[in-house]
């Protein structure tokens, strides 16, 4: 991997790993309603992105518009599910459930033949998933009442995997800023409609907005959406889906460090063991090997 690719990978990991905490702050007590927070997050993001996209080239052509719209709709659905899911299950459970993404991706890629799946990738994913489970072992109690939340988060994982495959296959020659903007405009539009239909969320927006939840909202919009998605789509054009899927194993490591920093949680010996196992699995998955073959190549 080039230094730029490594830097982009680490940036996505660090940014999205901290968004679990930011989401809790944003929609927690005294904060915004869940759907309101989602809609505002992406509206703010597209206000920043549109001027950047207008100066960027190349833009989508023909059927690429349809694929981008579909991906944006799926993204909106995925975010609704993960936000609502976090109302029912702890963020730690959500992080572990998201660790199944590389395994789900392996199944999808095998069925579509889009990329070659190796035994090394599957073994690395299983090892890393075990490490994440160890990391959050004391937070994984899920009651029957929380089963709906688990289902929502798993649904979000499947959706995120699907739109990543769409973006990889159908937007390879579109500028990352344009891809990100169109993608998030559609996401914001869908989430806005959902928030309105749902009656403006479960709480009423107040003025002046609450300071700390608003700061979390701005972080999610500007860093967690604008910077992270720009970086992610740039990365997706330069590496394989198998590589980008391993990001889900780094998020929990960042999330638990963030919790320890801002919520004064003490890291136990088990946390360090879990982190070591997770990193070991990543090492297996990301070990340099022959280039991944793409059976159908890039589609313009």
| Residue 144 vs residues 23, 147, 149, 151, 263: alpha-carbon distances, Å | 24, 5, 10, 11, 28
Least confident range from 88-97, 103-112, 177-186, 251-260: namely 88-97
3-class SS string, 90-159: CHHHHHHHHCCHHHHHHHHHHHHCCECCCHHHHHHHHHHHHHHHHHCHHHCCCCHHHHHHHHHHHHHHHH
Say if residue 294's pLDDT is above 50. Answer: no
Owning domain of residue 171: 3-286
- Cis ω for the linkage preceding 298 (within 30 of 0): no
Residue 177 in any domain: the answer is: yes
133-168 per-position pLDDT tens digit: 787 676 656 666 677 888 888 899 999 999 999 999
In a domain, 295, yes or no: no
Exposure string of 203-224, with b = 16+ CB inside 10 Å and e = fewer, is: eeeeeeebeebbebbbbbbebb
Contact 89, 153 (CB under 8 A): yes
Task: Give the per-residue pLDDT at 251.
Answer: 85
Cis amide linkage into residue 180, ω under 30° from 0: no
The C-alpha atoms of residue 278 and residue 129 are separated, in whole angstroms, by 7
pLDDT digits (tens, 9 = 90+) for 28-78: 888 888 888 888 898 999 999 999 999 998 999 999 999 999 999 999 999
CA nearest 34: which of 201, 237, 168? 201
> Do the domain assignments include residue 292?
no
Q: Looking at residues 266-294, what average pLDDT do you find? A: 68
Q: How many domains does the chain have?
A: 1
120 in a structural domain:
yes
Whether 71 is in a domain gets the answer yes
Identify any residues that bridge with 275 across adjacent strands, giving them in sequence order: none
Question: What's the pTM value of the predicted model, to 2 decimals?
Answer: 0.80
Tracing tokens 């860093």 back to the chain, one arrives at 223
The answer to whether residue 296 sits within a structural domain is no
User: What pLDDT score does 295 carry?
Assistant: 34
3-state secondary structure of 269: helix
User: Which position has the token pair 């190549």?
Assistant: 297
Q: Does residue 160 sit within a domain?
A: yes
DSSP letter, residue 62: T
- Give yes or no for residue 93 having a pLDDT over 50: yes
In a domain, 47, yes or no: yes
């Amino acid at each position: 991997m080039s230094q730029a690719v490594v830097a982009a990978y680490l940036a996505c990991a660090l940014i999205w790993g901290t968004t679990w905490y930011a989401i809790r702050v944003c929609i927690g007590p005294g904060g915004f309603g869940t759907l309101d927070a989602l809609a505002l997050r992406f509206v703010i993001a597209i206000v920043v992105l549109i001027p950047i996209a207008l100066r960027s080239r190349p833009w989508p052509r023909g059927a690429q518009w349809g694929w981008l719209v579909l991906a944006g709709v799926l993204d909106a659905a995925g975010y609704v599910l993960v936000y609502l899911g976090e109302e029912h299950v702890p963020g730690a459970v959500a992080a572990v459930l998201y660790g199944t993404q590389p395994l789900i991706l392996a199944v999808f890629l095998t069925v579509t033949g889009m990329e070659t799946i190796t035994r090394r990738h599957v073994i690395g994913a299983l090892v890393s998933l075990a490490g994440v489970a160890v990391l959050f072992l004391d937070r994984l109690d899920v009651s029957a009442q929380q089963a709906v939340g688990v289902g929502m988060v798993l649904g979000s994982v499947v959706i995120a995997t699907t739109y990543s495959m769409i973006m990889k296959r159908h937007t390879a020659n579109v500028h990352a800023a344009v891809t990100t903007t169109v993608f998030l405009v559609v996401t914001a539009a869908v989430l806005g409609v959902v928030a309105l239909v749902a009656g403006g969320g479960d709480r009423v927006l107040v003025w002046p907005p609450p300071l700390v939840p608003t700061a979390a909202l701005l972080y999610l919009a500007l860093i967690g959406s604008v910077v992270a998605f720009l970086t992610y789509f740039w990365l997706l054009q330069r590496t394989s889906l198998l590589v980008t899927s391993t990001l889900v194993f780094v998020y929990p490591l960042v999330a638990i460090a963030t919790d320890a920093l801002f919520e004064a949680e003490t890291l136990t010996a088990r946390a360090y063991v879990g982190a070591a196992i997770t990193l070991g699995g990543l090492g297996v998955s990301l070990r340099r090997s022959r280039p991944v073959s793409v059976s159908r190549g890039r589609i313009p």
